[in-house]
Structure 1
Amino acid sequence: MDLISELPEALLLSILSLLPAQDVASTMLLSKRWRFLWTSVPRLEYDDSYQSIAYRRFSRFVDRFLFLHEGPVIETLHFKLGKTCGGEDIRVWIRAADKCCVRELIFEIDASSNDSPPIVLPSSLYTGCRMLVTLKLNKVILEDTSSSIAFPSLKNLSLVSVEYPGDEFVSSLLSSCHVLEDLHVEQCSSDNVTIFNVRVPSLKSLVLHALADDDDDDDEYGFVIDTPSLEWLDIVDYREGFCIIENGMPKIMTASFDVNYSHSGEIMRTITSVKRLDLCLSTSSKVPVLYLHAIVIRIPIATSLMVKSLVYMQNAYPSGSVFCCLAHLKICTCQTEWLELLMCMLRYSPKLQSLRLKQYHEIEACNPRPCWTEPNSVPDCLVSSLEALEWVGYEGTEEEKEVVAFILRSAKCLERVTIYSSSKDPCKKLELVKELSFLPRCSSSCNFLFD
């Protein structure tokens, strides 16, 4: 212990920051050197389930610890709370967070028990933490407020399984974050939000995840995005909803779409400056009302279905949009139409350098096999820029063989091809290796690796 005590104070505080707050306070008993050191720890984590401590005792401990804290700021204040937590305690801790100039505040609620009422974060959170740079909320309920929301210093916001008062509250919350740069949202089915509006001019990174729910009604769920400074975009949405991107994203560098939209092409036309792109575009039997109500109204049912199919074909892929900066492309092969998407992206990505194909999701047994039709002309990227092809989960179907054969005999700059077989049968793998080895290659310097 003497050797540890001789370490610099900054290093000791960093070590204490890795411990639960209950253990941090216990270090005061070690020696005179440690007697008051705990009062300056910059990162604190309070877990009311730690060592099965009674909640009332836990609450008093947190109150006293925060009252005695002497550091100029608290870098991180992290609460892991169960449903026995009281709303008044949270109000006290929020006031203490403002007093201690907390930079990062985290509230994480254990919602596994259904016996207790849900915990609602008070409206003082929106006005009493003006020094916050990072706010992370997990499985909490936000209280409605009539006063204005103010987060003048907030740059990072994470909202995971949060319940809101409604759509307007979300818009007001985000519009109050004038310097927000990073937003991470994972919606839950009971969040009370139909259209999630993200209009933040300063935003640079945006993650929006919304999973399908069997209990969803006929409401049109979706996202509306207006973020002209955005550089990173990640959307996962299986609800057969919609996404509208307003005013384009001229600074976008990296984007990922794993969505079930019928108008994916409309979205992708707004991100043509992207350099890295990850795609899994699922077909949707439900076409958003926003795109169809003006077309199908007063049209016979058979004609209406035909119009829906036509609209889908026009909006599914970004035909005519040139991705002039795209260098790295990943495409999921789980959908029947992935070949159509692949050829569309090759055609409109003249500077593509690497291509990765992988089945990220299980293929439904009812899905038909994709249909391969060799294009009349070779895409420019195969002639002048494509250097790497990686295929994960290669099965050796006729369509897959045709795709590999086309790329090998067309890509003049190809340097490496890596194929990972999905088969566990050594004989099957050997057969696939032989088939691929005899395919003609346009590039004499191409290295072939099969696993």
Structure 2
Amino acid sequence: MVETRGMKRRARTVDYISPLPDAILLHILSFLPVRDWIVVSCISKRWRNLWTQISNLTLTELETIRPLISKNKCPICRALPSPNSTSCKLHIIEAARIKFGNSVDRILLLHSGCTINKFHLSLNYELEGWHSRRIDTWLKLAFTSNIEQIELSFYDRKMEVYLRRHGFHRRHAYQTQLYEIPHHNVSPRLLNSLTLHHCKFKVSSFKRFESLRRLVLKQVILHDTSVTLLASRCPALEDLHLELCIISHDFLVREEDLMIKRLLLDRCRPQDMLTIQMAISTPQLESLTIVGCFATTPYVGKVTKPLHALIDIRTIVDNSRMNEQGINLTSFLAGLQSCRSLRLTSWSIQALPAEGIMIRQPLVLFPHLIHLSLAVGLGKQELPSIVDLIWRCKNLEALTIEVHKYLSSVGLNNQEHANQVIPGFDEDNFWQSQDWPYCCLQTRLKRVIMTGFTGTKHEMNILHFLLAKADVLERVSISYTLKNIEPSILGQKVIHEIMWYDRTSKAAQLWITPHPPK
């Protein structure tokens, strides 16, 4: 059969997409930016209201401002702005803000709220440039709809970079000018995940988050909020993530059990002081991350489940208080008996008293620990505690040593501290003097990883020590940073020396690879 010209024309005009099921079409639309939804809705009646059923709404101010800036034309005076035309640049930003606000109004008005699973709103809030009541209306609609995940960001780093690249400079909002989540006398029924960024928040502003399981707060000022209030308003909460937040001094103090599974506290502090209190019982805890926090007498109790922990509790640099701080930190770590994976940083390592090697008794601190990761500078003030940690972990199977040169000068970097830990401390012969049996080295340790290797004396000595002492060692992986060490020097001298180190384990393999800097 010969195909005619008319048949070819009809074949080219056949719409193969519109007859597809709604679920497939909605999946296709989810990959398009919001500004294209309106264009697609004009294709035919089939597409007109389809976009109102999209389950994931992502509304970003940057998406609106990019086309206006790319035109490089002032929407008020219609002139091409010069590099110094501040007024025209302000006009462009104001026009983009108005357009974005109108778009959000229309989308939220026409969208079927019952179909929204995830709502993400991102804008750069300025007290003078945004009408708070307008944002309040958007949030009221979001919190009263059946939305499962809400993410609200009032500072967009990508937008900041984009504006600066094009000569626009935004005025930074002070803490008093941050947007404050308004009081909503509601109880979102289906909301299970809430993320807030760069704002003020009061948990008491809401009745109850019955289904909330995950709460992420970044650069948020928490007014009149504590874990006790969170537990009462969020009974299903499992994941609490606080990053660079302003919290009360006793935010993490609670007498009753806190039934969360994952807790992350990253560089949070009170408004007018440095230290925080920490005294909680968490029988369901599975993951604990504490980074850059100055805590006095920290305590986490009733930890019974297998735990993965990252501890970077900072200490006050004061030799007269080192013993007290070390005892408090040891007591805190002793509460993490079920820990399977642990990462410690230089601050915490320096504060730990090396009790085990002083009395030459295996004081087991982590009986279930399998993987120990140490972020250190390998300075003399860290060495006693590193050895003591290995001494205390009788079931250790994997040891990771992350060498960061800037950490060698962190904390109490002096001989006095080392002498306080071990009388007569001899830095030059320290590793050679470790001649007593280590339980984990004799029967358990199989893998050693060292990153950031530069071939220093202490790096070489600890490798020599582990190769000579680990009876069942299977693999030693060493990665060096190209900017810190010349490959030719490493190849000619250091590698040759490491390869000739004595190995107690005949199965031990040595791998040395470059690791380019990020």
Tell me, yes or no, whether TM beats 0.5.
yes
2:185 equivalent to 1:140: no
Which region of structure 1 is more displaced relative to structure 2, 113-122 or 247-256? 113-122
1:194 to 242, 249, 252: 249
Rounded Cα–Cα distance in structure 2 between residues aligned with 1:5 and 1:187: 47
2:514 equivalent to 1:416: no
2:388 to 320, 344, 347: 344
Alpha-carbon distance change, 398 to 98 in structure 1, aligned in 2, over 3 angstroms:
closer
SS in 2 for 1:440: coil
Residues 283-432 of structure 1: pairs in structure 2 closer than 5 A: 320-334=363-377, 336=379, 337-360=381-404, 362-364=406-408, 367-368=413-414, 371=427, 372-373=430-431, 374-422=433-481, 423-432=485-494
Checking the alignment, whether the CA contact within 8 Å between 2:354 and 2:388 is kept in structure 1 is: no
**Aligned-pair distance for 1:150?**
0.8
**Aligned-pair distance for 1:217?**
5.7
Counterpart residue type for residue 97 of structure 1: A
Which region of structure 1 is more displaced relative to structure 2, 13-22 or 203-212? 13-22
**Aligned-pair distance for 1:115?**
6.6
SS in 2 for 1:195: coil
Alpha-carbon distance change, 361 to 266 in structure 1, aligned in 2, over 3 angstroms:
farther
Alpha-carbon distance change, 2 to 100 in structure 1, aligned in 2, over 3 angstroms:
farther
**Aligned-pair distance for 1:6?**
4.7
TM-score normalised per structure 2? 0.72
Matched residue, 1:45:
58
Counterpart residue type for residue 403 of structure 1: I
Counterpart residue type for residue 155 of structure 2: D
SS in 2 for 1:95: helix
Matched residue, 1:69:
111
Counterpart residue type for residue 249 of structure 1: V
Rounded Cα–Cα distance in structure 2 between residues aligned with 1:428 and 1:142: 53
Matched residue, 1:288:
none
Matched residue, 2:121:
79
**Aligned-pair distance for 1:192?**
5.3
2:491 equivalent to 1:433: no
Checking the alignment, whether the CA contact within 8 Å between 1:157 and 1:182 is kept in structure 2 is: yes
Rounded Cα–Cα distance in structure 1 between residues aligned with 2:492 and 2:330: 39
Rounded Cα–Cα distance in structure 2 between residues aligned with 1:346 and 1:312: 13
Matched residue, 1:108:
153
Rounded Cα–Cα distance in structure 2 between residues aligned with 1:71 and 1:40: 8
**Aligned-pair distance for 1:18?**
3.5
Alpha-carbon distance change, 390 to 70 in structure 1, aligned in 2, over 3 angstroms:
same
**Aligned-pair distance for 1:204?**
0.7
**Aligned-pair distance for 1:251?**
1.2
The runs of at least 4 aligned residues of structure 1 exceeding 6 Å deviation read 311-315
SS in 1 for 2:137: helix
Residues 144-183 of structure 1: pairs in structure 2 closer than 5 A: 145=204, 149-166=207-224, 168=225, 171-183=228-240
2:322 equivalent to 1:279: no
Backbone CA RMSD of aligned residues: 3.3
Matched residue, 1:304:
none
2:283 equivalent to 1:241: no
**Aligned-pair distance for 1:60?**
3.7
Deviations 1:236-260 (A, max 9, x none): 025x433622433111421111231
SS in 2 for 1:102: coil
Checking the alignment, whether the CA contact within 8 Å between 2:145 and 2:188 is kept in structure 1 is: no
What percentage of aligned pairs have identical amino acids?
26
Rounded Cα–Cα distance in structure 2 between residues aligned with 1:33 and 1:443: 70
Residues 249-264 of structure 1: pairs in structure 2 closer than 5 A: 249-261=303-315, 262=325, 263-264=328-329
SS in 1 for 2:221: coil
**Aligned-pair distance for 1:380?**
1.0
Where in structure 1 are there 5+ consecutive unaligned residues?
Answer: 286-308
Deviations 1:414-450 (A, max 9, x none): 1111122352251244211111111111111111112
Counterpart residue type for residue 447 of structure 2: A
**Aligned-pair distance for 1:58?**
3.2
Matched residue, 2:136:
91
**Aligned-pair distance for 1:9?**
2.3
Counterpart residue type for residue 120 of structure 1: E
TM-score normalised per structure 1? 0.82
Which region of structure 1 is more displaced relative to structure 2, 369-378 or 19-28? 369-378
**Aligned-pair distance for 1:119?**
1.4
**Aligned-pair distance for 1:169?**
5.2
Deviations 1:75-124 (A, max 9, x none): 11111123233332233223322443000111100285337943111021
Deviations 1:138-161 (A, max 9, x none): 00112585x664111000100000
Checking the alignment, whether the CA contact within 8 Å between 2:226 and 2:251 is kept in structure 1 is: no
Q: Give the number of equivalent residue pairs.
A: 418
**Aligned-pair distance for 1:365?**
5.2
Matched residue, 1:230:
285
Deviations 1:263-315 (A, max 9, x none): 33222111121111111141699xxxxxxxxxxxxxxxxxxxxxxx9x97779
Matched residue, 1:120:
180
Which region of structure 1 is more displaced relative to structure 2, 250-259 or 107-116? 107-116
Rounded Cα–Cα distance in structure 1 between residues aligned with 2:464 and 2:354: 27
**Aligned-pair distance for 1:37?**
1.0
**Aligned-pair distance for 1:54?**
4.1
Checking the alignment, whether the CA contact within 8 Å between 2:479 and 2:512 is kept in structure 1 is: yes
2:97 equivalent to 1:55: yes
SS in 2 for 1:241: strand
Checking the alignment, whether the CA contact within 8 Å between 1:252 and 1:273 is kept in structure 2 is: yes
Higher Rg of the two aligned structures: 2
Rounded Cα–Cα distance in structure 2 between residues aligned with 1:48 and 1:63: 13
SS in 1 for 2:339: coil
Checking the alignment, whether the CA contact within 8 Å between 2:344 and 2:373 is kept in structure 1 is: yes
